[in-house]
Structure 1
Amino acid sequence: MKHILFSLLMVTSGAFAQSLPKTEAGVVATVKKQMPETEAFLEKVVNINSGSLNKEGVRTVGKLMSDELGKLGFKTEWITLPDSLNRAGHLVATRQGKKGKKLFLIGHLDTVFEKSLPMEPFTRVNDSTASGQGVNDIKGGDVLVIAALKALNDQKLLDDASITVYFTGDEESGGGAASRIDFVERAKKCDIALAFETAQGLHSVTTGRRGSSSWTLNVKARTGHSSRIFSDLGYGAIYEAVRILNEFRRTLGQEQYLTFNPGLIVGGSEVHYDDKTAKAETIGKTNIVAGTALVKGDLRFLTEAQKESARTHMREIVDKSLPLTKATISFSDGIPGMEPSAANDDLRKQLDKLSRDMGIGPVQAGDPGSRGAGDVSFVAQYMPCLDGLGASGKGAHSIEETMNTKEYPLLIQRTALFIYRLTR
């Protein structure tokens, strides 16, 4: 019974390839034939914990991916990172050809599920759903890339293609800008970037997605007996922190694509925060005016202009201190935004035509506000990009993460043909 689902799909999806040229129909048939081994490989990698901080697990998944890509004629490399970043590194696989566009295919080896969390193995929930840690974000997408390339290689359609596959090891918990130096340099040598984060069904693709950064608010105030608050001791650090956060919400909270989440807030007589563990400790009493407060949050945006405008407004709000309080705010860059562009939409139109040719139907641009930050944004300023090409599913980053197994073969087929058309 193990592969009944995929066998049925091989029959029911046969009509999709009827209008395709013979070569492309052959690719579709090969993807269908290979689905049992594709599923088995997906199950194998899902059952290996590869949380961003589990360096051994990330490397193990990377080795499995590297072995598969090596069989397809790719030259594989492991990019090590400085010890100070505490990350496993990245897998790069390349083939150099003489035809078509040079493609940069993006995935990541890590998941949000660290080794300390309960393991959720690959499980068939029903005839259309599989669950497991990282099954859609992003191991389903990584395996999709390999399955598509395997089908093309079987049909001898990779021989003249120029493709770089770059699977990072720390997308879910980034090691900082230093971790993406090689990533960006390799991408600059290519013409088009395709990223395989979770798909939002068969009919949507990502032409723009928001970036992310972080901010830290520190508040200081006079401290003393609580009976003197609002008078000679002023308002205290906690009231000032609350004023600032409420003004952020009131003045900026309705701007499209802009969000800012205060993920941690502590206040009292003393506050201590450990960046390595993201743990805070505070000391305070009800009859003492709080002398310090700390807030840490993120800021998400679609464009660099939107990010800078928001930061300017936030600084202005911070500067309007309540009496006898003083606040400062600092910002740290994370992942840039992937701005929607005409070039990205032209690429979407090519995918839309292919999808219609296959009988799957149209492909529209998804809402940029519905996506978090992703690796593709690091290279979006240099070339046309699409994201959301991976496995479809729900519940990413939760114990309820699932993958749509009915759509999965069709997404592999479409990716294989998209790569073929772009590199022919």
Structure 2
Amino acid sequence: MRIAGLAAGAIAAALLASPLSAQLSAPEQVAVQAVDAGFERDVNALEQITRVNSGTHNHEGVKAVADMLMPAFEELGFTVQWIDQSAAGRAGHLFARRLGDPDTKRILMIGHLDTVFEPSSPFTGFMRDGDRAVGPGILDDKGGVIVILSALRAMQAAGTLDGANIVVALTGDEEDAGDPLEEARCDLIEAGQWADVALGFEGLSTLDGNDAGVIARRSSSNWTLTTRSASGHSSGIFSGSSGYGAVYEMVRILDRFRAELPEENATFNVGLIAGGTPAELAEDELSATTEGKTNIIPSVAVARGDLRTLTPEQDERIVAKMRAIVADNLPGTSAEFDFESRYPPMAPTDGNRDLLAQLNRINADLGLDEQQPYPPSRRGAADISFVAPYVDGLAGMGPGGGGSHAEGEYIDLPTIARQAMRTAILVGRLARQPRD
């Protein structure tokens, strides 16, 4: 049964009218009905939090969204905690915990409060047109937060929340993690070490118009390259006394990166470059200043870029190649390479594949199409990657839509209900499974 395009109420009606609904337990059928009944409430809650600017660097706005959400979790029997992150230059995180049977699986649900849209952005407000709504961060990730709440409310209505071990982690700086990173992510990592399963509630991925499952995401790391050379009159370029200059050394390195580093699931980009006498990165590393003349050999060149990989082993292998290329200097030049690991990869594992298989059994019970694994090269980094070394994970559990990080970002509202139904049943089943 293909029901992806149906509105929320029609989804529930189609599901429960289908013979396949007999595969759902009585509590699971109650959960489906509860999601449907709460749809307009969920859309109203989404509107309220979307209208509050919570750009990562708007600390008051991030905290305001957290304050709006805390009562909702408390009503569900969760203990809420605001974790101040001023030491890392960020607002903080909202964690909600509900502990039950110590012998059953522990579940971590991950989303984020912040958006890329700071108060200076002209993109504001909330506009609904039927089954679509537009607003800053409405998909990434305020819609994901609403999916979490909708699923938990459905579980409460069905009685499947009782005895469950759940931590909800809503970070306040997913779009621009605080520094030092160890401080900014220590609470999330601790929760990942506690958990048996992690679910990430950023947006739903699709393949050929069908919902897909995200069992892997790539890393996101930064690198800085600086090349140096003695300066002098351009007439001496390439000579033994003057060497090749900083720009040619920079070009040599970047061209060898292009020719020698490509491999499956890895990408590397040069986002900024400058060269001259001198050239210098700005303190925020988002711009550079330089000057020079055509008849002067450039003394310094700088470049900044990123690296994205699928596994820690791939990351280590490519960085080792980069360092070897950087060290093979042209005459009269030197080079420095600094690598900053930020978001680790979420590698595809058997445990992640098993989670998707469990979700697909739920899809079959709901009469929904099977979700195929989404290509990891098409998903960016996310907070679930920080807990990937410790726990089985499934990402892309948030709603569907498009235009993330740009004016006009939108959400397909019925997907809130579809994802909440899937989540309520999946978490309810996981919460009854014994710990390994």
Fold match, TM over 0.5?
Answer: yes
- Bigger mean CA deviation after superposition, 194-203 or 384-393: 194-203
Aligned to 2:70: 66
C-alpha distance in 1 between matches for 2:388 and 2:214: 12
Aligned to 2:252: 243
Q: Is the 8 A contact 1:6 1:36 kept in 2?
A: no
User: Aligned to 1:257, what secondary structure does the other structure show?
Assistant: coil
AA aligned to 1:244 is: I
For residues 150-201 of structure 1, give each alpha carbon's deviation from its aligned partner in whole angstroms, at most 9, with x where no partner exists: 1211233212111100011111101112211121112212211111111114
Aligned to 1:97: 100
2:212 matches 1:212: no
C-alpha distance in 2 between matches for 1:69 and 1:264: 43
- Number of residue pairs matched by the alignment: 418
Give how far 1:222 is off. 1.5
Aligned to 2:119: 115
Aligned to 2:365: 357
AA aligned to 1:80 is: D
2:145 matches 1:142: yes
1:178 to 177, 183, 188: 183
User: Aligned to 1:137, what secondary structure does the other structure show?
Assistant: helix
Change (3 A) 1:234 1:74: same
Q: Is the 8 A contact 2:12 2:32 kept in 1?
A: no
- TM-score of the pair, normalised by structure 1: 0.94
Aligned to 2:166: 163
2:309 matches 1:309: no
AA aligned to 2:354 is: D
For residues 117-163 of structure 1, give each alpha carbon's deviation from its aligned partner in whole angstroms, at most 9, with x where no partner exists: 212322224x4432211111111111100111012112332121111
Give how far 1:380 is off. 1.0
2:32 matches 1:28: yes
2:192 to 181, 187, 193: 187
AA aligned to 1:104 is: L
C-alpha distance in 1 between matches for 2:197 and 2:27: 23
Aligned to 2:296: 288
Aligned to 1:38: 42
- Bigger mean CA deviation after superposition, 19-28 or 103-112: 19-28
Change (3 A) 1:67 1:210: same
Aligned to 1:55: 59
AA aligned to 2:341 is: D
AA aligned to 2:190 is: E
Q: Percent identity?
A: 40
- After TM superposition, list the pairs within 5 Å mapping 1:404-419 onto structure 2: 404-419=412-427
Give how far 1:14 is off. 4.7
Q: Is the 8 A contact 1:145 1:412 kept in 2?
A: yes
Which segments of structure 1 move beyond 4 Å, counting only runs of 4 or more? 4-14
C-alpha distance in 1 between matches for 2:11 and 2:373: 27
2:132 matches 1:129: yes
Aligned to 2:243: 234
AA aligned to 2:201 is: F
C-alpha distance in 1 between matches for 2:79 and 2:53: 26
Aligned-residue CA RMSD (Å)? 1.8
Q: Is the 8 A contact 1:261 1:299 kept in 2?
A: yes
Aligned to 1:257: 265
User: Aligned to 2:324, what secondary structure does the other structure show?
Assistant: helix
Aligned to 1:222: 230
AA aligned to 1:55 is: H
C-alpha distance in 1 between matches for 2:414 and 2:86: 41
- TM-score of the pair, normalised by structure 2: 0.91
1:152 to 128, 134, 155: 155
Q: Is the 8 A contact 2:16 2:29 kept in 1?
A: no
For residues 24-56 of structure 1, give each alpha carbon's deviation from its aligned partner in whole angstroms, at most 9, with x where no partner exists: 111111110100010001111112111111111
User: Aligned to 2:370, what secondary structure does the other structure show?
Assistant: coil
AA aligned to 2:127 is: T
Q: Could you tell me which runs of 5 or more consecutive residues in structure 1 were left unpaired when the two chains were aligned.
A: none
For residues 53-109 of structure 1, give each alpha carbon's deviation from its aligned partner in whole angstroms, at most 9, with x where no partner exists: 1111111111112121111110000111243x2101111000111163111111111
Q: Is the 8 A contact 2:27 2:159 kept in 1?
A: no
2:353 matches 1:345: yes
Give how far 1:10 is off. 5.0
Q: Is the 8 A contact 2:92 2:173 kept in 1?
A: yes
C-alpha distance in 2 between matches for 1:227 and 1:129: 64
Give how far 1:206 is off. 1.1
AA aligned to 1:320 is: D
